[in-house]
C-alpha cells in the first residue's frame, strides 16, 4: 500500500482500458461538458494497445456486429450526438450507400472504424501503449483513503509512470478462458482465439500449405474461425470440435432480445438473487456458446457441398471434450479428447489447436486485489457493486471505483456486451459529476489552490 505523499498529477478520473466501454464514457464526459458548458472532468484513460482497436485479432472479412448499429456508443443516450454511427457514415461519405445495404448489422471492420473515428476525436483523453501495472490505495495517517495511485508502463521503452486518481473506472475486458490445466504456446501450436489473426499470420503464413488445424469450442468465434480457415487455407485439414451435440443458434428473436433493453438493468438488479440468476441463465444462449443462424447455414452448406464433391478435408466433430494437450517432438500437438457418446478416449494430432473457449471475467480482477480490503465482496467472491456499477467501499475509503463489464451476475447479460454502453456511461458520469472537483497537486506533493471546497476542507498533502 502506498503511504501519504501525493506525488504525480491528480485526475478526477482514471480509466483502465480503452475499449468500447471506456470509449463510450469518454464521449459522454466530453459531450456532457460541452452541452452543460461546464468544466470537463480531468480524465486519463490508459490503454495498452498502441491505438484504438476492437478485438483486432478477430476482425476479418464477412464478420458482422451482433446488435443493431443504432446501439452505437451514443444514440440510446443522445440520438443527436455528433459521435453516432450515422454521423460517422455521413462524414465517411457512405450514408446513402449504407442505407441501401438495408442492414442493421454492419461489418465488424466498419464498426471498428467507427469506434476509431470516435476515439480519434477524444485522443487527448487517452494514453495508448501504456499498460496499467498497479492500482494502489493511498492511505493517510488516519487510515483514510482519498486517492488511488495508478502505475502504468510505457510499452515502447519499458519506463514506468504513475498518477493519482480521485476515482477509477475499470474496463479491461475479459481474459482468455482456457480449458482447465491447459496453456497456450509461443510457437502457434496452441493458441486462444483472442490472438487468432496475429498467431495464424505469424505461424501459418503459407496459406497454400496442407496445415492441420483443430478448433475447440461451440460459440460464434469457433465457427467464424472454422469458416475463415477453410476459406483462406484451401489445402488445410480442419477438425472443428465441440462438447455439445450441435452448434446452437443465438436467440435473437424479438421478445427474447428485450433482455438487452436498458430498463432490464433496473429490473434484474432489483430481483431476488435466485430469480435473477435463473433469468440470466435461461437467456444465456443469447450470447454464450451460441452462433448466428445465418453463419450456421453457410457453414452447413459448405460442408454439404464438399460432401457432394467427396472432399473430406474439413469436418465437425461433436460430443468431444478436450481433456489434455500434448506437445510432440517435431512441432506438432496431440489433442486428447473424451468422446461423450462412446465414453472413450480419442486423440487428434495437428499442427495447431485453436481454443475458442471464451473469456473470463469472474472473481476480483488481479489488478484490483490491492484495493480489495477496502471494498466489500459479494457471495460470489466478486466485488459488491451498487446499481451504478460502483464497488461498495468500506468506511474510510472515498474514491469511487466503477466496474464496466464485470457486473453480469448483478446487472444482467448486457454488461459484457455493447447493448447498454451509452446508458451505462451516462449513469457512471452522473455519479462522477456529483462531486466534480478540479484539483491540481504539484509534483512535490504540495497542494495548489483547489477549486473544490470539499477537498480544501480535508487539507492533506
Ligand X SMILES: Cc1cc2nc3c(=O)[nH]c(=O)nc-3n(C[C@H](O)[C@H](O)[C@H](O)COP(=O)(O)OP(=O)(O)OC[C@H]3O[C@@H](n4cnc5c(N)ncnc54)[C@H](O)[C@@H]3O)c2cc1C
Q: Is 250 in the site for ligand X (CB under 6 A)?
A: no
CB of 65 or CB of 190, closer to ligand X: 65
Question: Considering the complex, what minimum distance in angstroms separates the CB of residue 415 from ligand X?
Answer: 9
Q: Which of 51, 94, 151, 173 is close enough to bind ligand X by CB under 6 A?
A: 173
Binding of residue 172 to ligand X (CB under 6 A): yes
Q: Are strands 160-165 and 359-360 parallel, antiparallel or unpaired?
A: unpaired
The smaller minimum CB distance to ligand X, of residues 151 and 433, is found at: 151
Contacting residue, 9, 13, 15, 17, with ligand X by CB under 6 A: 17
Contact between 55 and ligand X by CB under 6 A: the answer reads yes
15 sits near ligand X (criterion: CB under 6 A): no
Crossing angle of helices 196-203 and 220-232, in 10° steps, is 30
Coil vs helix vs strand at 316:
strand
- Minimal distance, residue 108 CB to ligand X, in Å: 6
**What 3-state DSSP class applies to 130?**
strand
Min dist CB 60 to ligand X, Å, is 10
DSSP string, 389-454: SBBPBPTTB-SEEEESSS-HHHH-GGGGSSTTHHHHHHHHHHHHHHT-----B-TTSPBP--S-HH
Which of 8, 19, 217, 412 binds ligand X (CB under 6 A)? It is 19
- DSSP class of 315: E
Work out which of 131, 332, 336, 376 binds ligand X, going by CB under 6 A: 131
Q: Is residue 20 close enough to count as binding ligand X by CB under 6 A?
A: yes
Q: Does residue number 419 form part of the binding site for ligand X (CB under 6 A)? A: yes
Q: Is residue 241 near ligand X by the rule CB under 6 A?
A: no
Contacts of 166 (CB under 8 A, 6+ apart): 10, 11, 12, 13, 146, 147, 148, 399, 437, 439
Residues 322-341 as x/- pattern, contact with ligand X by CB under 6 A: --------------------
| Residue 358 cell numbers, joined | 471464451
Radius of gyration, CA atoms only, the chain: 24
420 binds ligand X (CB under 6 A): no
Grid look-up 490508459 returns: 46
Q: What is the closest distance, in whole angstroms, from the C-beta atom of residue 95 to ligand X in the complex?
A: 21
44: contact with ligand X by CB under 6 A: no
The helix/strand/coil state of 29 is helix
Q: Please tell me the count of residues contacting ligand X according to CB under 6 A.
A: 30
Q: Helix or strand or coil: residue 220?
A: helix
Binding residue for ligand X, selected from 393, 405, 422, 450, defined by CB under 6 A: 405
Establish if 404 lies at the interface with ligand X (CB under 6 A). yes
The answer to whether residue 65 forms part of the interface with ligand X (CB under 6 A) is: yes
What is the distance between the terminal CA atoms of the chain, rounded to a whole angstrom?
17
**Closer residue to ligand X (CB): 158 or 459:** 158
Least distance (Å) from ligand X to the CB of residue 393? 22
User: By the 8 A CB rule, do 220 and 65 touch?
Assistant: no
Cβ-based nearer residue to ligand X, 338 or 359: 359
Considering only residues 182-221, where is the footprint of ligand X by CB under 6 A? 221
Sole binder of ligand X in the list 48, 257, 313, 370 (CB under 6 A):
48
Nearest CA among 394, 387, 459 for reference residue 428: 387
Q: In the chain, what are the helix, strand and coil shares in percent, each to the nearest 5?
A: 35, 25, 40
If binding is defined by CB under 6 A, does position 135 make contact with ligand X? no
Q: Which is nearer to ligand X, 19 or 137 (CB)?
A: 19
Binder among 41, 67, 87, 229 for ligand X (CB under 6 A): 67
376 scored as a contact of ligand X (CB under 6 A): no
Q: By CB under 6 A, which span of 12-20, 32-40, 240-248, 436-444 interacts with ligand X?
A: 12-20
User: How many Å apart are CA 408 and CA 326, to the nearest integer?
Assistant: 35
Helix (H, G, I), strand (E, B) or coil at 218: coil
All cell numbers assigned to 391: 464497488
Q: Dihedral, CA atoms, 141, 142, 143, 144, nearest 10 degrees?
A: -110
Q: Which residues pair with 216 in a beta bridge?
A: 241, 355
- Report the C-alpha gap between 333 and 326 in whole angstroms: 6
Among the listed residues 13, 14, 16, 291, the single contact to ligand X using CB under 6 A: 16
Q: Determine if 132 is a binding residue for ligand X (CB under 6 A).
A: yes
Binding region for ligand X (CB under 6 A): 16-22, 46-49, 54-55, 58, 65-67, 131-132, 171-173, 221, 367, 404-405, 416-419
Amino acid at each position: 500500500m502506498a503511504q501519504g505523499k501525493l506525488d504525480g498529477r491528480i485526475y478526477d478520473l482514471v480509466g483502465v482500458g480503452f475499449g468500447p466501454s471506456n470509449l463510450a464514457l469518454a464521449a459522454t464526459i466530453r459531450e456532457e461538458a460541452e452541452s452543460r458548458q461546464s468544466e470537463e472532468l480531468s480524465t486519463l484513460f490508459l490503454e495498452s494497445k498502441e491505438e484504438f482497436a476492437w478485438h483486432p485479432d478477430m476482425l476479418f472479412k464477412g464478420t458482422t456486429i451482433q446488435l443493431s448499429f443504432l446501439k452505437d456508443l451514443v444514440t440510446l443516450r443522445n440520438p443527436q450526438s455528433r459521435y453516432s454511427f450515422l454521423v460517422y457514415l455521413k462524414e465517411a461519405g457512405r450514408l446513402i450507400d449504407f442505407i441501401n445495404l438495408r442492414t442493421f448489422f454492419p461489418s465488424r471492420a466498419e464498426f471498428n472504424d467507427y469506434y476509431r473515428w470516435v476515439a480519434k476525436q477524444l485522443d487527448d483523453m487517452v494514453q495508448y501503449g501504456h499498460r496499467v501495472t498497479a492500482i494502489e490505495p493511498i492511505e493517510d495517517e488516519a487510515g483514510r483513503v482519498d486517492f488511488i495511485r495508478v502505475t502504468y508502463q510505457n510499452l515502447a521503452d519499458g519506463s514506468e509512470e504513475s498518477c493519482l486518481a480521485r476515482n477509477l473506472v475499470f474496463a479491461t475486458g475479459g481474459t482468455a478462458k482456457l480449458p482447465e490445466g491447459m496453456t497456450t504456446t509461443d510457437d502457434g501450436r496452441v493458441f486462444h482465439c483472442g490472438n487468432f489473426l496475429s498467431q495464424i499470420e505469424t505461424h501459418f503464413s503459407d496459406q497454400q500449405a496442407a496445415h492441420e488445424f483443430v478448433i475447440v469450442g461451440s460459440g460464434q468465434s469457433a465457427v467464424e474461425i472454422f469458416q475463415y480457415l477453410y476459406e483462406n487455407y484451401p489445402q488445410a485439414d480442419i477438425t472443428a470440435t465441440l462438447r455439445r451435440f450441435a452448434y446452437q443458434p443465438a436467440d435473437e428473436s424479438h421478445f427474447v432480445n428485450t433482455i438487452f433493453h436498458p430498463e432490464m438493468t433496473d429490473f434484474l438488479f432489483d430481483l431476488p438473487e435466485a430469480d435473477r440468476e435463473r433469468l440470466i441463465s435461461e437467456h444465456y444462449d443469447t450470447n454464450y456458446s451460441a452462433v448466428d443462424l445465418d453463419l450456421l447455414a453457410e457453414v452447413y452448406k459448405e460442408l454439404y457441398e464438399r460432401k457432394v464433391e467427396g472432399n473430406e478435408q474439413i469436418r465437425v466433430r461433436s460430443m468431444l471434450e478436450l481433456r489434455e494437450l500434448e506437445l510432440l517432438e517435431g512441432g506438432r500437438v496431440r489433442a486428447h479428447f473424451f468422446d461423450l457418446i462412446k465414453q472413450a478416449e480419442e486423440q487428434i494430432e495437428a499442427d495447431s489447436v485453436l481454443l475458442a473457449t471464451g473469456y473470463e471475467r469472474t472473481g476480483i480482477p488481479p489488478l484490483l486485489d490491492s484495493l480489495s480490503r477496502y471494498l466489500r465482496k459479494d457471495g460470489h467472491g466478486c466485488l459488491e457493486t451498487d446499481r451504478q456499477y460502483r464497488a461498495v467501499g468500506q468506511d474510510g475509503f472515498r474514491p469511487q471505483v466503477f466496474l464496466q463489464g464485470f457486473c453480469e451476475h448483478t446487472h444482467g447479460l448486457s454488461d459484457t456486451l455493447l447493448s447498454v454502453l451509452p446508458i451505462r456511461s451516462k449513469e457512471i458520469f452522473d455519479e462522477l459529476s456529483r462531486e466534480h472537483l478540479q484539483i491540481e497537486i504539484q509534483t512535490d506533493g504540495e497542494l495548489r489552490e483547489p477549486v473544490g471546497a470539499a477537498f480544501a476542507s480535508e487539507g492533506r498533502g
